[in-house]
Amino acid sequence: LSDRLTSVFSSLRSKGRLSDADIDATCREIRIALLEADVALPVVRDFVSHVRERARGTEVSQALNPAQQVVKIVNDELVTILGGETRRLRFAKNPPTVIMLAGLQGAGKTTLAGKLALWLREQGHAPLLVAADLQRPNAVQQLQVVGERAGVAVHAPEPGNGVGDPVQVARGSVEQARRLQHDIVIIDTAGRLGIDQELMKQAADIRDAVQPDEVLFVVDAMIGQDAVTTAQAFMEGVGFDGVVLTKLDGDARGGAALSVRHITGRPIMFASTGEKLEDFDAFHPDRMASRILDMGDILTLIEQAQRTFDEQEAARMAGKLVSGDGFTLDDFLEQMMMVRKMGPIKNLLGMMPGMGQMRDQLNQVDERDLDRVAAIIRSMTPGERAEPKLINGSRRARIARGSGVTVTEVANLVVRFFEAQKMMRQMAGGMGIPGMPGGRK
Ligand code: GDP
Ligand code: MG
């Protein structure tokens, strides 16, 4: 969970199980948010149904309020759908390990080749970059520049032999690597602007010639929904073992990541986040999940969900206040927190005849005092909160120690609570409030 989300919710507290209506409403919002983030529809459907299932089975959590619980479920599901653990490169038993890059033109393959080479070199490997993109006039030169920057050797066709054959170059590079003791070969291939059969065939031919240990599909995270079609075409045409997401430094919202992973079943292994060679790292599903959750959209939806919960909670509380039944210290605390946060009960009470006394009582709650009150109540056992009569001298001392206040303050709080409770009983037995849940008709 991102820090930002945690802090948004840290001041809120409510309890109870998620109702089906809450879950449905929240799932609707998640669905919209994911679609807006360019996640493919079938993926959204699966995702939402998972979240729904888990939310239904979720036990009431002491530590999290319902909104936080939903966020946690969404986060967990995002991490799962994004692959759970980071998948590492598989190295060949007999070097060289052959890594082949495939993807559309402009996806970032050549840049990635350099990044990966540098990354591996820093881990003590000796990679060889291979220029098997002989389609674009400058492609070989571009790889040579990248190789130089990364400080790794580049294998390219002999100049002046006309247009070389990428399959030959790739095959030759593996022999070259063996000869020169390179333990890794990274093959940069040609891409086209769109999916096309010739391109697929060439990539498949290279694959057959070198039998790579890893085929990595390189995809631009900014292309959104198109990532799915492209990934499917490459899956059928060439096949791949892992995915590299590029241009994650842009405003890509993560939809491509979710969709590609889910639809192809292949792990996202690396992330590219800029034009410099250092802008590169292994892909971490949990970080991506946070990134997606950090989006304004989802944040908003969670705030909306929170508001719904709060309103329902306020209505429930109003019912309790009016009937005076089962009013506990937990409710007392909750009521004060709610008053501080939005004041609906105060407003509600103020609008009702005969409720002025109650409102005054609530108004007496000093803002700065609330944190101390909260600390005191939270230092009590659940039994003490439900039955404050239990709180004797030794319990008062324990609670005072636990919450860092004086014994007198604990005693005063309990007295205040009994007053509030008594007042509520009187009101419940008195006039009754028409139209209120629990009130007399
Ligand atoms: P290729 O056609 O697949 O080989 O793609 P290139 O490696 O030539 O990259 C195409 C363009 O995207 C170049 O201008 C790169 O500098 C740029 N590029 C590649 N990766 C990233 C990235 O992670 N972030 C950003 N902002 N630009 C990138
Ligand atoms: Mg290229």
Residues 306 and 331 in one domain: no
Ligand 1: residues with CB < 6 A are 103, 105-111, 191, 246-247, 249, 272-275, 279
CATH of the domain at 42: 1.20.120.140
Residues 130 and 212 in one domain: yes
Q: What is the pLDDT of residue 74?
A: 80
What is the Å distance from ligand 2's center to 304 Cα? Answer: 45
Question: Does a structural domain hold residue 106?
Answer: yes
Question: Does a structural domain hold residue 436?
Answer: no
Cα 287 from Cα 293, distance rounded (Å):
10
Residue nearest atom 25 in ligand 1 by C-alpha distance: 274
Q: What is the pLDDT of residue 180?
A: 95
Q: Do you know the residue count of the chain?
A: 441
Known binding positions for GTP = 103-110, 188-192, 246-249
Cα 415 from Cα 418, distance rounded (Å):
5
Question: Does a structural domain hold residue 440?
Answer: no
Taken in order 366, 370, 371, 372, the sign of the CA dihedral is positive
Ligand positioned closest to the Cα atom of 109 = 1
Cα 69 from Cα 28, distance rounded (Å):
16
Which atom of ligand 1 lies nearest, measured to the CA of 103? 3
What is the Å distance from ligand 1's center to 46 Cα? Answer: 32
Residues 35 and 78 in one domain: yes
Q: What is the pLDDT of residue 416?
A: 83
For the residues of 27-68, what is the DSSP string, one character each?
HHHHHHHHHHTT--HHHHHHHHHHHHHHHHTPPPPSSS-HHH
Ligand positioned closest to the Cα atom of 223 = 1
Residues 318 and 335 in one domain: no
Q: What is the pLDDT of residue 82?
A: 84
- Domain boundary pick from 260, 292, 323: 323
DSSP class of residue 116? H
Residues 114 and 261 in one domain: yes
Which atom of ligand 1 lies nearest, measured to the CA of 218? 3
The encoded tokens of residue 107 equal 């996806």
Question: Does a structural domain hold residue 434?
Answer: no
The encoded tokens of residue 1 equal 């969970």
Residues 199 and 250 in one domain: yes
Q: What is the pLDDT of residue 1?
A: 27
Beta strand segments in 118-209, E = 127-132, 153-155, 184-189
SS3 content of the chain, % helix, strand, coil (to 5): 60, 10, 35
Cα 69 from Cα 83, distance rounded (Å):
21
Residues 250 and 104 in one domain: yes
Q: What is the pLDDT of residue 440?
A: 33
Cα 25 from Cα 73, distance rounded (Å):
15
28-39: b (≥16 Cβ within 10 Å) or e: ebbbebbbebbb
What is the Å distance from ligand 2's center to 141 Cα? Answer: 10
Q: What is the pLDDT of residue 191?
A: 86
Neighbours of ion ligand 2 (CB under 5 A): 109-110
Which atom of ligand 1 lies nearest, measured to the CA of 112? 7
Of 156, 227, 221, 229, the C-alpha closest to 188 is 156
63-98: b (≥16 Cβ within 10 Å) or e: ebbbbbbbbbbbbbbbbebbbeebbebeebeebbbb
Q: How many CB atoms lie within 10 A of CB 49?
A: 11
How many structural domains are present in the chain? 3
What is the Å distance from ligand 2's center to 116 Cα? Answer: 14
Question: Does a structural domain hold residue 437?
Answer: no
Of 220, 164, 226, the C-alpha closest to 195 is 226
Taken in order 279, 281, 283, 285, the sign of the CA dihedral is negative
Q: How many CB atoms lie within 10 A of CB 362?
A: 20
The encoded tokens of residue 103 equal 């993807």
Question: Does a structural domain hold residue 375?
Answer: yes
Half-sphere exposure of 393 toward its Cβ, with a 13 Å CA cutoff?
A: 0
Q: What is the pLDDT of residue 300?
A: 46
Residues 81 and 119 in one domain: no
Question: Does a structural domain hold residue 80?
Answer: yes
Which atom of ligand 1 lies nearest, measured to the CA of 101? 3
Q: What is the pLDDT of residue 320?
A: 63
Q: What is the pLDDT of residue 322?
A: 57
Ligand positioned closest to the Cα atom of 114 = 1
Cα 160 from Cα 242, distance rounded (Å):
35
What is the Å distance from ligand 1's center to 280 Cα? Answer: 12
Residues 48 and 161 in one domain: no
Residue with tokens 């994911």: 34
Residues 227 and 271 in one domain: yes
Question: Does a structural domain hold residue 435?
Answer: no
- Residue range of the domain that includes 258: 97-282
Residues 339 and 301 in one domain: no
Q: What is the pLDDT of residue 351?
A: 39
CATH of the domain at 388: 1.10.260.30
Separate counts of helices (H) and strands (E) for the chain: 19, 8
Looking at the DSSP assignment, which residues form a beta bridge with residue 131? 188
- Domain boundary pick from 263, 296, 323: 323
How high is the mean pLDDT in each 10-residue block of the chain (441 residues)? 33 50 73 76 87 76 60 80 85 95 95 96 96 89 96 86 82 95 96 82 95 96 85 94 90 74 91 90 81 53 52 65 68 69 43 46 60 86 88 92 90 85 65 37 31
Can you tell me the ipTM of this complex?
0.99
Residues 153 and 301 in one domain: no
